[in-house]
C-alpha cells in the first residue's frame, strides 16, 4: 500500500508481511482501504494528522500506538469534493487494549480549532451512564490536569464540555433514546455496542445526524453475549463491505479477532485480537493468567474467548478455510478438461430462492470446478442478498428467473448441454432434495436405480469435509474467474457435529453463516460432487466404461 502516509502504509505493511499477526478481516480491511485510497483524487491530510497526534500526546500524556495512528490518519482521508472517504468506523478489539482512551482523545481533538470545523458536536452513547461517562470523564480529567493552559479555551461541567473557540460540545448519553431527538451531532460515538439488543438508540441519534460538515460515526466494542443484536448486524454488514458486496459503503471495519481455536492456543497470535498487546506488559500478564485458568473455570473460558479473543464461545463460527486459500482458487481453469470424466453436484435450499450446479474434475491431486446458479427474482430474501448478482448474471455465472420458482428442468438442461463436452459419471444431491428433481433427472438419463445418481447424507458431508479442508490448505482447487463460488464458500461455516446435543463427535458439517442473505448453494454443490469424486478413479483422461450422458 502506497498512500504517501507513513502511518497508514507502515501499519498495513506490518500486517500484510506477517510482522504483526492479523485476522482475516484485518487483512481484508487493508485491501479495502487500499482500494478506497487509490481512487482518483483521494488525499490524506498529513498535516492535520500530525497536528492531531501532537495535541493528543501533549495533553493526554500518552504515546499513540501504531494502530491508533493508523486510525487517526484514516479519519483525515478526503475525496476531491471534500467529503470523507470513511464516514463510519467499526472498531472491534479485545478488552483492555485502550480503545476508550484513544476514542476519548480523538473526540476531544475533533472539537478543537485545529480540526477546523465549528459546531462539531460529539455525542457519546452507551447503555449505562457509567459506560457513557467513561470517555467523557477522560476528557474532563485531561482538561482539569491542564486547566492552567486550557481554561481560556474550554468550559466544563459534569454534563457537558464546550470548546469556546469552535462552539463544539462533548456530551454523554444513556439508553433512554426517546429523549434524544433533535440533536445536531457531528460525531456519534457508540460505546460497547455488543450490549445493544436493538438499534433504537442508533436510529434516534442518527435521525438528527448529517447536518454538519464531515460527520463521522465511531462504534467501539469488544464482542459480547447478546446474539442477533446490533453488533451481530453490524458485523454482518462489515463482512459484506469487506467482501466487496457493498462497493459504495463508506464504512471502515477494523475487526481485531483471532481466526479460530488454534490462535487461542497460541499466545503469539493473540495480537490479532489485541493490537496493543506488544506495548502493554500488564495486559500480557493478565491474559496469560486467565489463559492458565481456562481448564478450571468455564466463566473465565467464556470471557477469554468472547472478550479477549473476540471469538464468542457460545456460538463459535469456524470459517471453511482461510480467505487466502479461497483467493488462491482464482487460477485459470485449463483448456484440456474436454473429454475428461467428472462428477456433478446439485444444491438448493428452496426453488423459490437459489439453486446451483457444480461440475467437478479431479486430475491427480488437483481439483477443477465450474458451474452455474439460478436466482428466483420473486424470492422473499432477494432484497437481503448483498452481492453483485446482476453483474454475475451479465458474466454468465447466474441466471435470474422471473417466475414463482426455479424449474428443475433449468438445472438439468444446463447439465445436459454442458455434459456434451465431458463424461459425467454420476450426479450427487442431498437426499431430501431428490423428490423435486427426480423427473427432470430421469429425462436426461439419471436415476438412482441406474446407479448414476447418489443421494448425499449428512454423514457423507462429514466424511468429505477433511478432504475439502486439505484441498484448500494445499491449494489444490482451481475455480477460475468465479466470484460467485468464492462468495458462497465465504458464506459457509463449519459446525461440530453433536455439539449442541452434548455428544461432540469431532466431525464437522457445513452451515450458513446467516440464513437469509448469505447463500451457500454453489459451495454445497461442490461438496456434493466431491462426495462421489472417487467414482472417477481409474478414468482420468478418458471415459469410463459405463453408461453416461453425452447430450
Nearest CA to 277 out of 21, 6, 71, 18 is that of: 21
| Lookup result for grid cell 467437478 | 360
Q: For residue range 455-477, what is the model confidence (pLDDT) as tens digits?
A: 999 999 999 999 999 999 999 99
| φ, ψ (nearest 5 deg) of residue 190 | -100, 110
Nearest CA to 78 out of 211, 216, 171, 189 is that of: 216
Angle of helix 99-110 relative to helix 46-59, nearest 10 degrees, comes to 120
Integer angstrom CA distances of residue 483 from 34, 241, 307, 373:
20, 15, 34, 12
Q: Is 25 helix (H, G, I), strand (E, B) or coil?
A: helix
Give Cα 168 distance to the centre of its chain: 35
Alpha helices in 323-430 (DSSP H): 323-327, 389-394, 408-418
162 forms beta bridges with 155, 169
For CA atoms 480, 482, 485, 486, the dihedral sign is positive
For CA atoms 64, 70, 75, 81, the dihedral sign is positive
Q: What is the pLDDT of residue 102?
A: 97
Q: What is the pLDDT of residue 317?
A: 54
Low-confidence ranges of the chain (pLDDT < 50): 177-178, 182, 315-316, 499-504, 540-551
Specify whether domain 323-536 bears CATH 3.30.420.240: yes
Q: How far apart are the first and last CA of the chain?
A: 50
CB 419 within 8 A of CB 549: yes
CB 495 within 8 A of CB 509: yes
Q: What is the pLDDT of residue 516?
A: 64
CB 384 within 8 A of CB 237: no
Q: CATH 3.30.420.240 residue ranges in the chain?
A: 323-536
CB 100 within 8 A of CB 67: no
Q: For residue range 139-173, what is the model confidence (pLDDT) as tens digits?
A: 999 999 999 999 999 999 999 999 999 999 999 98
CB 223 within 8 A of CB 310: yes
Q: CATH 3.40.50.300 residue ranges in the chain?
A: 84-255
| Lookup result for grid cell 500478564 | 285
Q: For residues 406 and 397, what is the distance between their CA atoms, to the nearest angstrom?
A: 16
H-run or E-run covering 451: none
Give me the CATH code for the 84-255 domain, please. Answer: 3.40.50.300
Amino acid at each position: 500500500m502506497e498512500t504517501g502516509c507513513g502511518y497508514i502504509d507502515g501499519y498495513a505493511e506490518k500486517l500484510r508481511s506477517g510482522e504483526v499477526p492479523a485476522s482475516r478481516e484485518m487483512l481484508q480491511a487493508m485491501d479495502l482501504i487500499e482500494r478506497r485510497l487509490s481512487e482518483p483524487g483521494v488525499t490524506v491530510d498529513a498535516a492535520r494528522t500530525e497536528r492531531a497526534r501532537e495535541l493528543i500526546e501533549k495533553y493526554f500524556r500518552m504515546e499513540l500506538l501504531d494502530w491508533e495512528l493508523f486510525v487517526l490518519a484514516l479519519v483525515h482521508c478526503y475525496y476531491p469534493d471534500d467529503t470523507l472517504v470513511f464516514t463510519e468506523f467499526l472498531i472491534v478489539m479485545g478488552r483492555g487494549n485502550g480503545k476508550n482512551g484513544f476514542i476519548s482523545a480523538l473526540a476531544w481533538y475533533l472539537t478543537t480549532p485545529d480540526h477546523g470545523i465549528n459546531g462539531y458536536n460529539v455525542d457519546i452513547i452507551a447503555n449505562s451512564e457509567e459506560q457513557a461517562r467513561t470517555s467523557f470523564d477522560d476528557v474532563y480529567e485531561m482538561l482539569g490536569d491542564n486547566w492552567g493552559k486550557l481554561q481560556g479555551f474550554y468550559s466544563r461541567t459534569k454534563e457537558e464540555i464546550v470548546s469556546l473557540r469552535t462552539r463544539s460540545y462533548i456530551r454523554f448519553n444513556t439508553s433512554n433514546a426517546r429523549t434524544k431527538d433533535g440533536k445536531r451531532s457531528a460525531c456519534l460515538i457508540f460505546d460497547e455496542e455488543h450490549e445493544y439488543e436493538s438499534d433504537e438508540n442508533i436510529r434516534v441519534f442518527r435521525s438528527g445526524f448529517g447536518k454538519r460538515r464531515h460527520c463521522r460515526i465511531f462504534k467501539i466494542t469488544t464482542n459480547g453475549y447478546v446474539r442477533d443484536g446490533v453488533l451481530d448486524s453490524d458485523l454482518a454488514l462489515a463482512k459484506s463491505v469487506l467482501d466487496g458486496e457493498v462497493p459504495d459503503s463508506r464504512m471502515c471495519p477494523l475487526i481485531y479477532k483471532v481466526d479460530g481455536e488454534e490462535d487461542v492456543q497460541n499466545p503469539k497470535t493473540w495480537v490479532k485480537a489485541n493490537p496493543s498487546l506488544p506495548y502493554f506488559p500488564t495486559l500480557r500478564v493478565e491474559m496469560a493468567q486467565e489463559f492458565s485458568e481456562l481448564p478450571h473455570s468455564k466463566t473465565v473460558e467464556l470471557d477469554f474467548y468472547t472478550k479477549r479473543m473476540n471469538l464468542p464461545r457460545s456460538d463459535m463460527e469456524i470459517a471453511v478455510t482461510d480467505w487466502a486459500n479461497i483467493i488462491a482458487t482464482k487460477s485459470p481453469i485449463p483448456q484440456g478438461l474436454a473429454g475428461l470424466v467428472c462428477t456433478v453436484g446439485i444444491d438448493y435450499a428452496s426453488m423459490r430462492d437459489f439453486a446451483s450446479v457444480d461440475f467437478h474434475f479431479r486430475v491427480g491431486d488437483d481439483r477443477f470446478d465450474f458451474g452455474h446458479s439460478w436466482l428466483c427474482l420473486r424470492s422473499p430474501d432477494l432484497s437481503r442478498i448483498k452481492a453483485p448478482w446482476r453483474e454475475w448474471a451479465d458474466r454468465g455465472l447466474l441466471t435470474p428467473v422471473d417466475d414463482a420458482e426455479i424449474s428443475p428442468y433449468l438445472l438439468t438442461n444446463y447439465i445436459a448441454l454442458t455434459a456434451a463436452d465431458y463424461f459425467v459419471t454420476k450426479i450427487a444431491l442431498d437426499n431430501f432434495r431428490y423428490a423435486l428433481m427426480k423427473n427432470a433427472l430421469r429425462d436426461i438419463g439419471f436415476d438412482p436405480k441406474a446407479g448414476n445418481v447418489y443421494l448425499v447424507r449428512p454423514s457423507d458431508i462429514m466424511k468429505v469435509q477433511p478432504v475439502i479442508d486439505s484441498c484448500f490448505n494445499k491449494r489444490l482447487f482451481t475455480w477460475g474467474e468465479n466470484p460467485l463460488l468464492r462468495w458462497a464458500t465465504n458464506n459457509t461455516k463449519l459446525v461440530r457435529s453433536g455439539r449442541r446435543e452434548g455428544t461432540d463427535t469431532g466431525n464437522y458439517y457445513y452451515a450458513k453463516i446467516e440464513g437469509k442473505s448469505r447463500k451457500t448453494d454453489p459451495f454445497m454443490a461442490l461438496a456434493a460432487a466431491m462426495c462421489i469424486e472417487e467414482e472417477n478413479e481409474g478414468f482420468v483422461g478418458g471415459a469410463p466404461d459405463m453408461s453416461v450422458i453425452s447430450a
